[in-house]
Amino acid sequence: VERLIEAALENDFPVEFVDELRRIALKHDIWRLVLRDDPPAKVPPYKLRLKENAKPFRCKARQYAPLQSAFLRDFNKTLVELGWVYKNPSSRWACAALPLRKPKSDEFRQAVDYKPLNAMTEAIAGLMSNLKTNLERARGKKHYGLFDFIRSFWQLAVAEESREMLSYMTDEGVFTPNRVMQGSCDSALHFQVSMEDCFAELLHEYLLIWIDDLLLFADTIAQYLLVLEKLFDLVHEFGLKLSLKKSSLYQQSVTWCGKVIDQNGIRHDPKRIEGLTAMPLPRTAGQLQQFICATN
């Protein structure tokens, strides 16, 4: 947390308010480098509703490359130790675990092919927030904070009656989760709606939420500190945890959801469009047609 405070000072946070910032940042046990065996957040559990005549699906056993198999074994051993999943050889449901290589890395992450389950699930009649409209509320502010929920979906519980449906299979057996799994139908919408409910009193006027990314903003430093403390109070109240690595206590200009936002307005993040700006101009009709098709 002290490193976050140092970074805030490097970002021109007023020195005369640093003691207040430190008090607010250290007030609650809300920070994590890695998620521990903390209890799930205090929000309604995730429930699935199956379509009429839906039948349990169990995938065929898959073979994995040695590195993938080792990753799945170690990863799920950790999940079992944390109490987030349990081995369930009697499960009638099981979708395939997918070890995916992280971009520009030799490391893997686990996904699950929930397409068969999703096809049998009645989707929630809800909508994600309109990000373009909501971003306008942050335009022209002078003080910002960026916060990220560590292992976001894993912080939320699954209703007991829905857990077996979310079971997945590795080469070492079937595991049933009691925390929300990314990729299952409406899991992202459930997380978004849950967070909007938790932070309703700050939402839009001082806070924007996009899944697990939070943007806090205010016109004055005094106002910013007030809403920052309220934000952390709510994080603590609902039993949520923030990432130390991916959070920033204070900035005067932020890059969030592909946009650069500061007191001068909102503009595209140059890194997101550098491939387009570096593209050579079309010189023939064929090249122009190719460009038009590529940009849809």
Structural domains of the chain in order of their starting residue, each with its CATH number: 2-271 (3.10.10.10)
Residue whose C-alpha is closest to residue 257's, from 219, 220, 211, 292: 211
CA angle 290, 272, 146 (to 5 degrees): 160
Does pTM surpass 0.85?
yes
Structure tokens at 122: 């009645």
Q: Which of 135, 129, 149, 219 is nearest to 227 (CA)?
A: 219
Classify residue 220 as exposed, middle or buried by CB count within 10 Å of its CB (0-12, 13-18, 19+): exposed
Per-residue pLDDT of the chain (296 residues; tens, 9 = 90+): 999 999 999 999 999 999 999 999 999 999 999 888 999 999 999 999 999 999 999 999 999 999 999 999 999 999 999 999 999 999 999 999 999 998 888 899 999 999 999 999 999 888 788 888 888 888 899 999 999 999 999 999 999 999 999 999 999 999 999 999 999 999 999 999 999 999 999 999 999 999 999 999 999 999 999 999 999 999 999 999 999 999 999 999 998 888 888 888 777 766 655 555 556 677 777 766 776 666 65
Return d(Cα 21, Cα 224) in angstroms, integer: 10
**CA 186 to mean position of chain CA atoms:** 14
Q: Greatest CA span in the chain, whole angstroms?
A: 65
